[in-house]
Amino acid sequence: MSLSKFTEKDYELIQESYGQLKEAARRRCANQEELDVVQKAFDFANEAHKDVRRRSGGPYIIHPIEVAKIVVSNIGLGYKSIAAALLHDVVEDTDYTVDDIRNLFGDKIASLVDGLTKIKVVLDNEDRAKRQEDAYSESLQAENFKRILLTLNDDVRVVLIKLADRLHNCRTIDSMPEFKRDKILSETMFIFIPLAHRLGLYEIKSEMENIWLRYKEPDAFKEITALVNRNIEGQEKQIDEFIAPIQEAISKAGFNFEIRKRVKTPYSIWHKMQTKNIPFEQVYDLFALRIVFTPDSDRKESERDMCYHIFSIITGIYRYKPDRVRDWVKHPKSNGYEALHCTLMSEKGIWIEVQIRSKRMDDIAEKGIAAHWAYKQEGYLSENDSEMDKWLAKVKEILVSPDVNALELLDIIHNDLVSADITVFTPKGEQKSVSKGSTALDFAYGIHTEIGNKAIAAKVNMRLVPLSHVLKTGDQVEIITAENEHPKREWLQFLHTRHARNVVIDYFKGNKKEIVEIGRKTLSDKLESIGYRLNNDSAESLARYYKVPGRNVEELYFRVGLGLINPDPTIGEVLSARNTASKGPWYISMFNWRRDTQNQVAKEKKNYVIATCCRPIPGDAVIGIKAPDGTLTVHKKTCPVADSIASKHGDWVVVPSWGTNVDKTTFPARLSIKGIDRVGLLNEISRYISLVMGVNMRKVYLSTEEGIFEGYIDLSVHDRSALDRMIRKLSSIDGIQSVVRTDI
Domains in the chain and their CATH numbers?
A: 2-117+155-216 (1.10.3210.10), 223-377 (3.30.460.10), 389-506 (3.10.20.30), 509-574 (no CATH), 580-663 (no CATH), 666-742 (3.30.70.260)
Residue range 301-311, pLDDT digits in tens: 888 999 999 99
Residue 179: Cβ within 10 Å count: 23
Q: Which of 93, 303, 327, 719 is catalytic?
A: 93
CB 250 within 8 A of CB 257: yes
Residue segments in the chain with a per-residue pLDDT below the cut of 50: 118-138, 381, 383-384, 577-589, 595-605
The pairing of strands 52-53 and 421-425 is: unpaired
Q: How far is CA 525 from the centre of its chain?
A: 39
pLDDT on residue 152: 56
Amino acid present at 60: Y
Buried/exposed code over 516-549 (b: 16+ C-beta within 10 A; e: otherwise): bebbbebbbebbeeeebebeeebbeebbebbebe
The DSSP code for 88 is T
Question: Is 93 a known active-site residue?
Answer: yes
pLDDT on residue 664: 66
Residue 424: Cβ within 10 Å count: 21
Among 159, 161, 281, 267, smallest CA distance to 211 is for: 267
Residues 723 and 189: their CA atoms lie apart, in Å, by 27
CB 685 within 8 A of CB 673: yes
Q: Which of 92, 219, 240, 389 is catalytic?
A: 92
pLDDT on residue 141: 55
Cα maximum dimension of the chain: 83
Q: How far is CA 334 from the centre of its chain?
A: 16
SS3 552: coil
User: What is the enclosing helix (H) or strand (E) of 319?
Assistant: strand 319-320
Sequence-ordered list of residues with C-beta below 8 angstroms from that of 591, at least 6 positions apart, any chain: 608, 624, 632, 634, 656, 657, 658, 659
Residues 330 and 315: their CA atoms lie apart, in Å, by 19
Q: In a 10 Å sphere around its CB, with 0-12 CB exposed, 13-18 middle and 19+ buried, how is residue 20 labelled?
A: middle
pLDDT on residue 597: 38
In angstroms, the first-to-last Cα distance of the chain is 44
What is the per-residue DSSP string for 696-740?
Answer: EEEEEEEEEETTEEEEEEEEEES-HHHHHHHHHHHHTSTTEEEEE
User: What is the enclosing helix (H) or strand (E) of 40?
Assistant: helix 32-48
Cα torsion for 402, 408, 414, 417, to the nearest 10°? -30
Task: Give me the phi and psi of 194, to 5 degrees please.
Answer: -60, -35
pLDDT on residue 445: 93
Residues 60 and 229: their CA atoms lie apart, in Å, by 35
Among 430, 344, 336, smallest CA distance to 390 is for: 336
Buried/exposed code over 78-103 (b: 16+ C-beta within 10 A; e: otherwise): bbbbbbbbbbbbbbeeeebeeebbbe
